[in-house]
Structure 1
Amino acid sequence: MDDALVAEGLSRSYGDTTALDGVSLTVERGEVFALIGPNGAGKTTLVRALTGTTDVEGTVSVFGSSPESVDENRISLLPQAFSPPERLTGRELLEYYAGLYDEPRPVVDVLAEVGMADDADSWYETLSGGQQRRICVGTALVNDPDLLFLDEPTTGIDPAGRRDLWRLVADLAADGTTVFLTTHNMEEAEELADRVGLLADGRLVEVGSPGALVADHGGESRLVVETDAGADALAGSRYRVSASDRTLTIHGISPEEIGEAVATLERANIDYESLSWTQPSLENVYLELAGERAAEEPAPVGGAR
């Protein structure tokens, strides 16, 4: 698969604050790449660097050219902060942005895709925050881009609407659109991304598929038992156990082992109120890796996000 996006050695500082510190990455055509990281990590600065809207040290190639020279019909960006004219309807806003391109997609199709066909003729200012964000997503789709940058696209959208947009992004990728996504929503990254990159203190700490990152850095699955019993109640068993206030945690339990663990609790005459099995997720990876970076060096103050 050809590369849609290649960045090498990107660095950018704002005064004494380092926003990017030698970031290199490659995104393949048709891939969904999710960038995660804490506030102040440099995510928005990296998006600006990749789209050619801020000066950086290093090089960026988009479809083999610099971002500034790429055909504007092939690339689109939805920034995190986007405030279109409020006294236009959703339809009028999409028609305006469609008019900026030579061969835009039909506005009616885009409105339907973002779930705004029924409210298309309402003024933007009267729409809910989630509806406004849907219209904003639509403005980034009217040119039918080959490479789509989405900076926190589902901010303010209700869970049902979020799922709708996830399906839209997945469909776009299935049709060959390359998507570069920044998000604070770990479920969103796990659901959509082929690969995830964690940015912390301006550095790309880790890149990999969600499954690989969880396997390498997510920790263990565990069975959490709400009980007054202490860890010594399972002394001599084969399980690794820890205890806190009214909680007994059995570590490293797979779904297939839950039944035997429960039987062990019963044989030990341990009374419990509830059981819950949890498995590691991308959120655990985020907390582990971002936490390590925070412990190694303080996050910069001020500057770009």
Structure 2
Amino acid sequence: MDETAAASASASAVEAGDGNGDGDGSETRGGDDADPDSDPVVSGEGVRKSYGEVVALDGVDVRVESGEVFGLIGPNGAGKTTLVRALTGTTEADGDLRVFGAPPRAVDSQRIGLLPQSFDPPERLTATELVAYYGGLYDAARDTDSVLRDVGMADDANAWYETLSGGQKRRTCVATAIVNDPDLLFLDEPTTGIDPAGRRALHRLIERLAGDGTTVFLTSHAMDEVERLADRVALLRDGAVVAVGPPAELIAEHGGEPRLEVVVDGPAGDEPVERVGGAMSRDFAVEPTADGLRILGVRPESIGDAVDALDAGGIAFESLAWSEPSLEDVYLRLTGEAYSPRTGTGGIADRAGEDAQDGGDR
């Protein structure tokens, strides 16, 4: 059974509410506005998980408030998928894990939606049949047609899953995760393979769900997606959280300075850097790149000074591109551009046992 079906059909040992939400209907988002004394929707303390000698999670602490969009980022092999599986009760892990105040496997599955990273539903069902099938696993499901409209699949609702494009398949999978109108929604790489227009539509859907009180746990490699959607972000590396906070705060602390990327007209090398550095009238840092050079610390109002320094240094350039630091810069700085995950030669997918399904991204 795939993870979504397993999460949906699991027996509930403890009823955690009536399935209609755990709040008072307020549309206030979580994050900075959350009550620090309130019980979190998701919490984990000292979460650990190993596969043989491979440590996937090494004492992770996590807390997600009601109505919050919580982003989890990190390199392949960092432990993201293993953490999602532990929090949804689809794999065992050590530590204190709570969802709606109960152990993950004791939570009423009606309240949770899950889109795993890998999801292979029956291909000879139409999108409508597939969503209706998963809706049938719940006591009260949303109208299938309205869910398909939400994810942009209304026009292809009667197409067989096997005939859909990669992006259409992923949107259909998102529909199966929200058909029960969950109070808590886990999305593991929800926009993989989806075109830009489809990504924007799903972003708006996630924002609307969060605005209506759904708590969203989002895992993604798309830093722009996480920066836009998440109230708070945790960065996972080697199974441990190395930074956590609102995206703007992480960017301010770890993102570096604004920069001006210069593509030079001719071979790049150290000489342009030396000539421009010598012509600088401001305290800018200059470093070489594959196509030219990068001038750090350039604010919008000082771009003209940087251009004057290029002219004074006799540097002909093809293009200039100014940018502010982003969550991607935080990611690269805290993980390293050449970071190689410690999965070993075979990786955990080669290990025996049912938990070997956590292979790949982990």
**TM class, shorter-length:** over 0.9
Q: 1:105 to 1:264 in 2, by over 3 A?
A: same
Equivalent pair of 2:112/2:183 in contact (CA under 8 Å): yes
The aligned counterpart of 1:56 is 93
Equivalent pair of 1:105/1:144 in contact (CA under 8 Å): yes
Q: 1:275 to 1:198 in 2, by over 3 A?
A: same
Among 259, 277, 281, the residue aligned to 1:237: 281
Quote the Cα distance in structure 2 between the aligned partners of 1:271 and 1:20. Answer: 50
Q: Deviations over 1:52-71 (max 9, x none)?
A: 11111101111111211212
Among 51, 54, 58, the residue aligned to 1:21: 58
Unaligned runs of 5+ in 2: 1-33, 267-271, 349-358
Equivalent pair of 1:231/1:241 in contact (CA under 8 Å): no
Give the % identical residues: 59
* Structure having the larger proportion of residues in strand: 1
Quote the Cα distance in structure 2 between the aligned partners of 1:260 and 1:238. Answer: 8
How far the C-alpha of 1:148 sits from its partner, in A, is 0.3
User: Which letter does structure 1 place at the counterpart of 2:83?
Assistant: L
TM-score (norm 2): 0.79
Quote the Cα distance in structure 2 between the aligned partners of 1:137 and 1:300. Answer: 29
Q: 1:155 to 1:41 in 2, by over 3 A?
A: same
TM-score (norm 1): 0.93
Q: Deviations over 1:246-305 (max 9, x none)?
A: 62432101112213333444466654332221221111111111129959xx62321241
Q: Deviations over 1:199-219 (max 9, x none)?
A: 111111111111111111111
2:254 is the alignment partner of 1:254 = no
Q: Secondary structure at the match of 1:118?
A: helix
Q: Secondary structure at the match of 2:156?
A: coil
- 1:130-141 aligned at under 5 Å gives the runs 130-141=167-178
Q: Secondary structure at the match of 1:84?
A: coil
Quote the Cα distance in structure 2 between the aligned partners of 1:293 and 1:201. Answer: 14
- 1:136-175 aligned at under 5 Å gives the runs 136-175=173-212
How far the C-alpha of 1:32 sits from its partner, in A, is 0.6
Q: 1:265 to 1:110 in 2, by over 3 A?
A: same
Q: Secondary structure at the match of 1:199?
A: strand
User: Which letter does structure 2 place at the counterpart of 1:277?
Assistant: W
2:123 is the alignment partner of 1:116 = no
Unaligned runs of 5+ in 1: none
Quote the Cα distance in structure 2 between the aligned partners of 1:221 and 1:205. Answer: 23
Q: 1:246 to 1:120 in 2, by over 3 A?
A: closer
How far the C-alpha of 1:96 sits from its partner, in A, is 0.9
The aligned counterpart of 2:15 is none
Q: 1:26 to 1:293 in 2, by over 3 A?
A: farther
The aligned counterpart of 1:299 is 342
The aligned counterpart of 2:227 is 190
Among 331, 335, 359, the residue aligned to 1:290: 335
Higher alpha-carbon deviation: 5-14 or 237-246: 237-246
Q: Deviations over 1:154-207 (max 9, x none)?
A: 111111111111111111111110000111111111111111111111111111
User: Which letter does structure 1 place at the counterpart of 2:150?
Assistant: E
2:143 is the alignment partner of 1:106 = yes
